[in-house]
C-alpha cells in the first residue's frame, strides 16, 4: 500500500519535521514507542533508513515509486541526490502544496485526484504527474473547486513560495518557471544518505 494512513504525528516525532505530511506539532520531545526516551547511538544503516523514510513519508510515495525515481535520477547527469529531490519536488501534488493551494501534500493529492486541478488547459488527475518549466496550473472553474482552494489558501502549509514558481492569487493561476534549487527544498534531509541506502541494495 503506497499511502500511509496511520497517525502522522507519530511519524514526525520519529523522523523530525515533515512539512508535507502534517502541520501539527507534538508537545512530546522524545521519539515514539516504549524505548523512545532511551538515547542510543543509531547505526549507519539506521541513519540512512531514517533519511529514506523522511522522503517516503513527506512526499507520500511508495517504496516502488522511490526506487523508480532513484533509477531515473542515476541516469541524469549531476548529483543523484539533488536530481532525486528535483524529481519529487516537480510532482504535481507537491507543486500544489508549495504554491500554498493546499496545507499538506495529502490534501493537494486529494485536489488532484478529485479533478480540481488543470494543467495547460487539461484536467490532470494523476498526482505523480511531472510538471515542466512553462506549465500553467489553474483551478477548475467550478464553485466547489474554487471555494475549497480559497479555504486552503487562507492557511497555507509553508510561508514562502519557491523562486521557481509564481502564483497569481487574483486569478488563482500559477506558472512553473524552472527547476527547483536545492536551497528551496523545505525538507531537512541529507539526500546523500538516501543514495547510499539504495546503492547498498
Domains and CATH numbers, the chain: 8-30+41-87+184-199 (1.10.1050.10), 92-178 (3.10.290.10)
Q: CA 52 to CA 50: how far, in whole Å?
A: 5
Q: Is the confidence at residue 1, as pLDDT, over 50?
A: no
Distance, in Å, from the CA atom of 48 to the CA atom of 23, rounded to the nearest integer, reads: 25
Whether residue 191 has pLDDT greater than 80: yes
Burial bucket for residue 10 (CB in 10 Å: 0-12, 13-18, 19+): middle
Q: What is the pLDDT of residue 23?
A: 56
Report the percentage of the chain scoring pLDDT > 90.
Answer: 36
* Surface-to-core class of residue 190, CB atoms within 10 Å of its CB (0-12 exposed, 13-18 middle, 19+ buried): middle
Q: Regarding beta strands 136-139 and 165-168, do their DSSP bridges make them parallel or antiparallel, or are they unpaired?
A: unpaired
pLDDT digits (tens, 9 = 90+) for 24-60: 555 555 555 555 555 567 788 888 888 888 888 888 8
Long-range contacts (CB closer than 8 Å, 24 or more residues apart) made by 139-142? 139/101, 139/172, 139/173, 140/115, 140/116, 142/116
- Predicted TM-score (pTM) of the model is 0.82
Q: How many CB atoms lie within 10 A of CB 146?
A: 14
Amino acid at each position: 500500500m503506497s499511502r500511509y494512513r496511520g497517525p502522522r504525528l507519530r511519524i514526525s516525532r520519529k523522523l523530525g519535521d515533515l512539512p508535507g505530511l502534517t502541520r501539527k506539532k507534538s508537545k512530546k520531545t522524545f521519539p515514539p514507542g516504549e524505548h523512545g526516551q532511551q538515547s542510543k547511538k543509531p547505526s549507519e544503516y539506521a541513519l540512512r533508513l531514517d533519511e529514506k523514510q523522511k522522503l517516503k513519508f513527506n512526499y507520500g510515495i511508495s517504496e516502488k515509486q522511490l526506487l523508480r525515481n532513484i533509477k531515473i535520477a542515476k541516469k541524469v547527469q549531476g548529483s543523484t541526490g539533488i536530481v532525486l529531490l528535483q524529481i519529487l519536488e516537480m510532482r504535481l501534488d507537491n507543486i500544489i502544496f508549495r504554491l500554498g493551494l493546499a496545507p499538506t501534500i495529502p490534501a493537494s493529492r486529494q485536489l488532484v485526484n478529485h479533478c480540481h486541478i488543470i494543467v495547460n488547459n487539461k484536467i490532470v488527475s494523476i498526482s505523480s504527474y511531472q510538471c515542466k518549466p512553462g506549465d500553467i496550473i489553474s483551478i477548475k472553474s467550478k464553485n466547489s473547486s474554487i471555494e475549497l482552494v480559497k479555504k486552503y489558501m487562507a492557511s497555507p502549509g509553508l510561508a514562502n513560495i519557491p523562486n521557481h514558481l509564481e502564483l497569481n492569487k487574483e486569478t488563482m493561476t500559477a506558472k512553473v518557471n524552472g527547476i527547483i534549487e536545492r536551497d528551496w527544498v523545505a525538507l531537512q534531509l541529507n539526500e546523500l544518505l538516501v543514495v547510499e541506502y539504495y546503492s547498498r541494495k
